[in-house]
């Protein structure tokens, strides 16, 4: 049905979603400008596991592709609550880590991650919980962490407690971080030759923990924002136990909150400044055996997790380098899913979801547009011998840094464009699914057909953090309409002239 050209132009101009990222009003957060230590060029980090030394020794890592490399990890001693010394076979790896990294790239910083022991999760987490609850045990732990980091030439410390499980744990975590920061400040004052140690934490993908016995579990946002140099969020590994095939680290998911975008936005909405947030990218894929080879899309019944691979040494987990080996065989069928921004392949009855170079590029575009401090790769030993993904990540990040981060323009990515229908129920459904999937990255959504009402609402809201303005198609208007012209001016100001505004049209 032909419509006058001007009408459709009007609709396309005003059927728009705007993401306004106004300056935070909270006084508790450290401002992003001096950020408490985040390097200006951003963080391009990688975790290295000593268990990968048999196929990916530290000396084989191209350290120039990273600003920070994490030794992941040492654990906590369940008797003394000090940081546990590494097992005998790992001690030389820990001792050599910093000097090996720095001989490859003198500007790279090294971080010692202290975390939950993956083979003894319950015991290890109980020890973290106990330590965090007691002032003198916190002192023992903190002192020993600083000593171990300095003794081995590390530039910083990381807490990878996976995960605090009660509200008391969360409160105590906040206290621990504050005391840890105080100790680091004090130590650097008496140790004038060195920079203060960096302090980071590896956290759940969202600020709210799902699927825990306590359904009301949120991280202590202010303690995190004011004591950490930054937080690394685990935005992957969402579907380990699934009995159907599914993408394991999608950027978007319209049907659940298990997506990268949901996690990032939940942290920002909770009040962590974007300059304190570093987003995780998996260098592993998730594998399953199909029940029926003919049923091989997303959501197909799976018989079991994929077999243990050489590198990961875990069922259901496959390193990117091993994914590549399958991709090189003719019988592998690869699919890029643009809706979720994820990739998967199928080979006989093996089905694997993974992050390809294209997925990584799209995710980093999202991270840059959200003005995050950077990204980390988990784990660097899973990359191929050409460091394909590590290189892709660093190139994308430099490109977005050059483009000035944030303020992406119309057409930058169709993936995020949201055309909102003009009528009630349909519009509401679109808004709901977009909110769920993270397409709308802020909590205030104004919608309705009346431009005057929207403007009035907007005026009330502009001093709050993160207002999202959603304009539905406004009937009976033309570009010359003063109200529409006014909205366009507001959009220009917020999207292109405010330095911190992120914007998608
Ligand atoms: C930690 O080190 C400080 C000195 O920096 C000392 O005063 C304090 O007693 C130590 N705490 C513990 C529990 O060892
Ligand atoms: C997967 O598990 C759910 C609940 O645990 C069950 O309802 C469903 O039937 C299972 N699907 C398959 C394909 O086994
Ligand atoms: C693989 O994992 C098992 C535990 O599941 C462990 O005992 C074994 O040492 C690991 N093998 C290697 C080569 O790391
Ligand atoms: C690494 O790059 C070389 C040269 O481009 C290529 O021949 C080789 O197949 C690549 N190896 C992997 C594992 O991608």
* 438 DSSP 8-state letter: T
Pick from 49, 117, 307, 313 the residue to mutate for probing ligand 3's pocket: most ligand atoms within 8 Å of its CB.
313
Whose tokens are 């699914």? That residue is 433
| Ligand 3 nearest atom to the CA of residue 308, by list position | 1
pLDDT score for 254: 77
Beta-carbon contacts of 465 under 8 Å, excluding residues fewer than 6 positions away, are 22, 23, 24, 25, 26, 271
| Ligand 1 nearest atom to the CA of residue 190, by list position | 5
Phi, psi values for residue 368, rounded to 5°? -65, -40
pLDDT tens for residues 423-480?
445 555 555 565 555 544 433 344 444 455 555 555 544 333 333 444 433 333 455 5
Beta-carbon contacts of 396 under 8 Å, excluding residues fewer than 6 positions away, are 360, 361, 364, 365
Specify the 3-state DSSP secondary structure of 184.
helix
Q: Is 292 close to ligand 2, i.e. is its CB under 6 Å away?
A: no
Kindly state the tokens that stand for 495. 């999207």
* 53 DSSP 8-state letter: T
What is the mean pLDDT of the segment spanning 72-94? 96
Cis amide leading into 163 (omega within 30): yes
pLDDT score for 347: 96
What is the mean pLDDT of the segment spanning 68-92? 96
pLDDT at 335 over 80: yes
pTM above 0.85, yes or no: no
CA of 390 relative to ligand 4 center, distance in Å: 14
pLDDT tens for residues 193-234?
779 999 999 999 999 999 888 888 999 999 999 999 999 999
What is the mean pLDDT of the segment spanning 70-91? 96
d(Cα 321, Cα 41) in Å, to the nearest integer? 28
Specify the 3-state DSSP secondary structure of 89.
coil
pLDDT at 414 over 50: no
Domains of the chain from N-terminus onward: 5-21+409-497 (no CATH), 43-283+356-402 (3.20.20.80)
What is the mean pLDDT of the segment spanning 487-493? 49
Residue 143's Cβ-count burial label (10 Å; 0-12, 13-18, 19+) is middle
What percent of the chain has pLDDT above 90?
Answer: 63
pLDDT score for 428: 55
Q: Angle, to 10 degrees, between the axis of helix 357-369 and the axis of helix 260-270?
A: 20
Pick from 211, 239, 243 the residue to mutate for probing ligand 2's pocket: most ligand atoms within 8 Å of its CB.
243
CA nearest to 504, candidates 110, 120, 131, 18: 18
| Ligand 2 nearest atom to the CA of residue 301, by list position | 13
d(Cα 251, Cα 12) in Å, to the nearest integer? 26
Which bin fits 387, alpha (ψ -120 to 50), beta or left (φ > 0)? left
Atom 9, ligand 2: which residue's CA is nearest?
243
d(Cα 185, Cα 183) in Å, to the nearest integer? 5
Kind and range of the H or E element at 50?
none
Q: Higher model confidence: residue 421 or residue 87? A: 87
Paired with 141 in beta bridges are none
- Termini Cα distance of the chain: 26
The answer to whether the beta carbons of residues 248 and 282 sit under 8 Å apart is yes
Q: Is 244 close to ligand 2, i.e. is its CB under 6 Å away?
A: yes
Q: Is 188 close to ligand 1, i.e. is its CB under 6 Å away?
A: no
CA angle 109, 110, 115 (to 5 degrees): 140
CA of 305 relative to ligand 2 center, distance in Å: 14
Kindly state the tokens that stand for 155. 């530039």
CA of 287 relative to ligand 3 center, distance in Å: 19
Q: Is 243 close to ligand 2, i.e. is its CB under 6 Å away?
A: yes
Whose tokens are 């994914």? That residue is 323
CA of 313 relative to ligand 3 center, distance in Å: 6
Atom 4, ligand 2: which residue's CA is nearest?
243
Q: Is 384 close to ligand 4, i.e. is its CB under 6 Å away?
A: yes
CA of 141 relative to ligand 1 center, distance in Å: 10
pLDDT score for 38: 45
| Ligand 3 nearest atom to the CA of residue 51, by list position | 14
CA of 383 relative to ligand 4 center, distance in Å: 12
Specify the 3-state DSSP secondary structure of 302.
strand
> Which pairing describes strands 467-471 and 444-446: parallel, antiparallel, or unpaired?
parallel
Atom 14, ligand 4: which residue's CA is nearest?
386
Paired with 469 in beta bridges are 18, 446
Q: Measuring from each residue's beta carbon to the nearest atom of ligand 3, which residues come in under 6 Å?
A: 51, 313
Residue 269's CB is within 10 A of a number of other CB atoms, namely 15
| Ligand 4 nearest atom to the CA of residue 384, by list position | 13
pLDDT tens for residues 175-192?
999 999 999 999 999 877
């Amino acid at each position: 049905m032909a419509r006058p050209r001007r009408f459709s132009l009007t609709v396309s101009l005003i059927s728009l979603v705007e993401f306004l990222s106004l300056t935070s009003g909270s006084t508790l957060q450290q401002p992003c400008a001096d950020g408490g230590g985040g390097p200006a060029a951003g963080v391009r980090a990688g975790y290295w596991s000593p268990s990968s030394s048999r196929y990916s020794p530290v000396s084989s890592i191209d350290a120039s592709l990273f600003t920070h490399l994490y030794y992941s990890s040492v654990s906590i001693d369940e008797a003394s609550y000090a940081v546990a010394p590494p097992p005998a076979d790992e001690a030389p790896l820990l001792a050599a880590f910093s000097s090996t990294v720095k001989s490859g790239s003198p500007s790279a910083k090294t971080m010692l991650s202290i975390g939950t022991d993956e083979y003894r999760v319950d015991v290890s987490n109980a020890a973290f919980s106990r330590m965090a609850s007691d002032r003198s045990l916190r002192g023992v732990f903190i002192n020993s962490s600083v000593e171990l980091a300095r003794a081995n030439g590390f530039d910083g410390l990381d807490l990878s407690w996976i995960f605090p499980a009660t509200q008391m744990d969360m409160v105590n975590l906040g206290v621990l971080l504050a005391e840890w920061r105080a100790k680091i400040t004090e130590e650097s004052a008496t140790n004038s030759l060195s920079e203060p140690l960096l302090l980071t934490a590896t956290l759940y993908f969202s600020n709210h923990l799902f699927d825990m016995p306590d359904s009301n579990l949120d991280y202590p946002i202010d303690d995190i924002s004011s004591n950490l140099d930054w937080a690394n969020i685990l935005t992957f590994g969402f579907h380990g136990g699934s009995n159907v095939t599914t993408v394991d680290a999608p950027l978007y998911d319209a049907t659940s909150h298990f997506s990268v975008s949901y996690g990032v936005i939940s942290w920002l909405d909770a009040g962590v400044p974007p300059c304190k947030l570093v987003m995780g990218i998996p260098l592993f894929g998730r594998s399953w055996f199909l029940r029926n080879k003919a049923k091989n899309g997303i959501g197909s019944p799976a018989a079991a997790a994929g077999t243990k691979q050489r590198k990961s040494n875990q069922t259901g987990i496959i390193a990117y380098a091993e994914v590549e080996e399958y991709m090189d065989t003719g019988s592998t069928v690869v699919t890029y899913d643009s809706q979720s921004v994820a990739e998967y392949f199928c080979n006989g009855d093996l089905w694997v979801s993974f992050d390809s170079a294209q997925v990584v590029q799209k995710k980093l575009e999202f991270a840059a547009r959200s003005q995050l401090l950077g990204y980390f790769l988990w784990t660097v030993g899973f990359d191929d011998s050409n460091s394909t993904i590590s290189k892709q990540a660093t190139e994308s990040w430099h490109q977005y840094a050059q483009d000035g981060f944030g303020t992406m323009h119309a057409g930058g990515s169709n993936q995020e464009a949201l055309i909102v229908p003009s009528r009630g129920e349909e519009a509401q459904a679109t808004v709901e699914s977009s909110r769920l999937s993270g397409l709308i990255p802020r909590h205030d959504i104004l919608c309705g057909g009346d431009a005057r009402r929207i403007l009035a609402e907007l005026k009330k809201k502009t001093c709050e953090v993160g207002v999202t303005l959603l304009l539905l198609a406004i009937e009976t208007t033309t570009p010359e309409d003063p109200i529409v012209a006014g909205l366009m001016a507001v959009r220009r100001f917020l999207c292109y002239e405010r330095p911190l505004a992120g914007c998608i049209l």
